[in-house]
Amino acid sequence: MIQTSPFIAPAAYLLATVTAALLLRAVPKIARHLQHSGESRYASIDGLRGYLAFGVFVHHSIITWIFLRTGVFEFPPSNFYSMLGQGSVALFFMITGFLFWSRLLAQGRQHDWLAFGISRVFRLYPLYLPLMLAVFVTVFYLQDWQLKEPVSQLFKQGLLWLTFDRPDVNQYPQTGMLISNVTWTLAYEVFFYLALPLAALVFVYRGNWRQVVLCLIGIYTLYQLVGWEHSLKKHFLASFLGGIAAAYWIRRPQLVAWSRTTLASVIALVALVIAFTAFNRAFKTAPLFLLSLFFVIVASGNNLFGALKPRSIRWLGEISYSTYLLHGFVLWLMVQRLPLLLHLDARESGVYLPLLAACTCLLILISSATFLYIEQPGMSAGRKVVQWIRQRQKGNKRLAEKVAR
């Protein structure tokens, strides 16, 4: 059966990396970008991202196969395919916690919170907004352009989707399944971003006890506000702690030196294998500990015997946000809608597997294009907005000084 076959994931990863390698040869712009990004201090993490985002796609492809056969959305019976989704998300949360806590520790009170906030908005939304539009258009297309709810209700649904919630749109059942409900993780990311300044005041800047109490109350309030529709789960948030621990880990030269040894590579891989085979859920104490152990070693610069170094893998890492955000919609189009148009039965493995292979290649191509022409310009626009605000602030300051004279 596909949902337990040990060959699906390796074959899919091989096809994805070959597609990425061909793109590197065919598109000079990609090769130039990778040459520049190769100077990144956290190159191993850049490679890890590629495996994780594509792992979530494989996880959802197995879930989709089960749905086509049974009509029920459920986790794969295989621990590995179940963890390929959950474990990848947990490691993504660790990457977020690590990168931003590391920056906070390095910059201290010089941390540019304005730039941080603007950069997060311009990182998440430039790609998300077109996807959200595609979902709404698809819903109305499937319903023959009939308005089944008041405009005010549709407007409310749009606002909730803007906050990464996924209410049914225009009474279309399980609208979120058009994108495999992937946006649930973004609510956790947003909570982390919003809580970071308050956490910094408590754990990094270390103000007086009144400030600490107020900040803790603020964090709890954010926890309730961000999760007002669907409460945030504490054991999911615990994943970020693995990344924060890694931020302290890499500040100890002895630990970093050990983490780059062959022994550490073996320990990291053993921890990962145990986590992905002995458990079927990632957000529990034992698997989170194993994944955190794996992550601190990778965060220290260990490339796992070169597995995180290939340019094709690093490119999959660069396009990981596009891959993660878009794969559900591409999967839905390719293995649920396309077979209907071609009068094919996707429940047959002889039909589903070729469609999955085509979906893999298409996903890498689309994600590469959206990274180059949506994500990158979006991030650049964010930096320009910060520069514009800074220039305005300097101009206002000079004007105030002249008036004061």
Convert the pLDDT of each residue in 322-338 to its tens digit.
999 999 999 999 999 99
pLDDT bin (cut points 50, 70, 90) of residue 235 is: confident
- Count of CB atoms situated within 10 Å of the CB of 202: 18
pTM of the shown model: 0.94
Contact 85, 184 (CB under 8 A): no
Distances (CA, A) of 246 to 47, 269, 376: 17, 17, 28
Distance CA 256, CA 92 (A): 21
Q: Which residues lie below 8 Å from residue 98, measured CB to CB, with a gap of 6+?
A: 45, 243, 244, 246, 247, 295, 299
Name the percent of the chain lying above pLDDT 70.
Answer: 96
Q: Summarize the confidence of residues 358-386 as an average pLDDT.
A: 97
Distance between CA 405 and CA 397 in Å, rounded? 13
CB 94 within 8 A of CB 86: no
User: What span, in angstroms and rounded, lies between the C-alpha atoms of 62 and 81?
Assistant: 7
Q: Would you say residue 42 has pLDDT above 90?
A: no
User: How is residue 263 written in tokens?
Assistant: 């022994």
Domain limits for position 206: 2-404
What pLDDT sits at residue 38?
A: 58
Using CA atoms, how far apart are residues 179 and 174, in angstroms rounded to an integer? 10
User: What are the φ/ψ torsions at residue 243 (nearest 5 degrees)?
Assistant: -70, -40
pLDDT in tens, 9-25: 999 999 999 999 999 99
Query: What's the domain count of the chain?
Result: 1
CA distance 299 to 97: 12
Please give the torsion angle defined by the CA atoms of residues 305, 311, 314 and 319, in that order, rounded to the nearest 10 degrees: -160
